[in-house]
Amino acid sequence: MIRSVVLSAGKSLPRRLVKNAELEGVIETSDAWIVQRTGIRQRYIAADDETTASLGEAAARAALDAAGLTVDDIDLIVLATSTPNNTFPATAVEIQERLGMRHGFAFDMQAVCSGFVYAINTADLYLRGGMAKRAIVIGSETFSRILDWEDRSTCVLFGDGAGAVILEAQEGEGTIGDRGILAASLRSDGSHREKLYVDGGPSTTRTVGVLRMEGREVFKHAVGMITDVVVSVFEQAGITADDIDWFVPHQANKRIIDASAKKLGIADEKVVITVDQHGNTSAASVPLALCEGVETGRIKKGDLVLLEAMGGGFTWGAVLVRW
């Protein structure tokens, strides 16, 4: 059976690093409050010349280099983003053009913070369906552009950045020992859409809008939703939390990550945490964390890696990958 095997990961962060202390001069907040409530210590903020397309391109190039491939080897680009360069065309085609790729196909996916989990699952289906041989799956965001910088309850939480992985269709045995994507579970429930949304859009206000969130409501639902999809993935694969080598969750809030890991019975030392360094980079957070796990020598070939995310919509999902 065909499996979508992860060949490499790459990342790109804006030049400007903003520590919590710097925000103390902009809004009424404190490093202590942000760290205690979220675990975030710093985030990167894009300059005007750094966009979702440029960060995504750089992450894709890093992933290509790490795999020893060029764009000629790729036939699909899936970009997860909620902060596209333009309403249309898809930012994925801009990245395709920047990479100098004149064949194949590219498109954007929008599932907010779950975007990368949706995108890697989508690319897996194209590869297993035989429509593509190798894909770059990118999560790239410039959330700083859609923040209300006067709303201290949201602006301290998010950051900009991009991460990417390369997937390749390879023959597997059809067992849990195969490398590649082994199981996935996706969910959404639009009845929660007003708990985390952007108050503008082309078809309503004709503006871009800014992020609005009922933080406590999001928090209340997060752990239950995350654990539901993870348990579904465990059941599909016939494994338990003990079989996982690395848990790479969406990096929104350290308290949500800790509570999810605890409820699932995943040991702390198996959890890859980057929220302290990057803040919540929405669709970029999981691939950035994956890249960190690989670059620090923790995630290695053959490891069983569990990805999960939850975000606006609400959307949520989990993917199990043997690296």
Ligand X SMILES: CC(C)(COP(=O)(O)OP(=O)(O)OC[C@H]1O[C@@H](n2cnc3c(N)ncnc32)[C@H](O)[C@@H]1OP(=O)(O)O)[C@@H](O)C(=O)NCCC(=O)NCCS
Minimum CB separation from ligand X for residue 80, in Å? 13
- Rounded CA separation 15/38 (Å): 23
Name the minimum Å distance from CB 214 to ligand X.
8
Of 113 and 305, nearer to ligand X (C-beta) is 113
Find the part of the chain contacting ligand X (CB under 6 A) among 13-21, 80-88, 121-129, 209-217. Answer: 209-217
CA 146 – CA 144 distance, rounded (Å): 6
Taking residues 239 to 258 in sequence order and writing x for each that binds ligand X by CB under 6 A, - otherwise, the string is: -------------xx--x--
Catalytic (active-site) positions: 113, 250, 280
Q: Smallest distance from the beta carbon of 25 to ligand X, in angstroms?
A: 13
State the binding string over 287-316 for ligand X (x if CB under 6 A, else -): -----------------------xx-----
Residue nearest to ligand X (CB): 215
* CB-CB contact of 282 with 141 (8 Å): yes
Closest to 136 measured CA to CA, from 101, 170, 111, 161: 101
Alpha-carbon distance 224 to 286, whole Å? 19
Reported for 93-102, long-range contacts at CB under 8 A and 24+ positions apart, including other chains, are 94/53, 95/53, 95/56, 95/57, 95/60, 95/138, 95/140, 98/53, 98/54, 98/57, 99/57, 99/60, 99/61, 99/71, 100/71, 101/71, 101/72, 101/74, 101/77
CA nearest neighbour of 97 among 71, 59, 68: 71
User: Out of 147, 219, 228, 304, which residue is the one contacting ligand X (CB under 6 A)?
Assistant: 219
Q: Is 215 near ligand X (CB under 6 A)?
A: yes
Question: Is 153 one of the binding residues for ligand X (CB under 6 A)?
Answer: yes
Residue 261 CB, nearest approach to ligand X (Å): 15
Work out whether 113 is an interface residue with ligand X (CB under 6 A).
yes
Task: For residue 278, give both structure tokens.
Answer: 């990057």
Tokens of 232: 């579904």
Within positions 45 to 104, which residues make up the interface with ligand X, using CB under 6 A?
A: none
Q: Which residues bind ligand X (CB under 6 A)?
A: 29, 33-34, 37-38, 113, 152-153, 156, 213, 215-216, 218-219, 252-253, 256, 280, 310-311
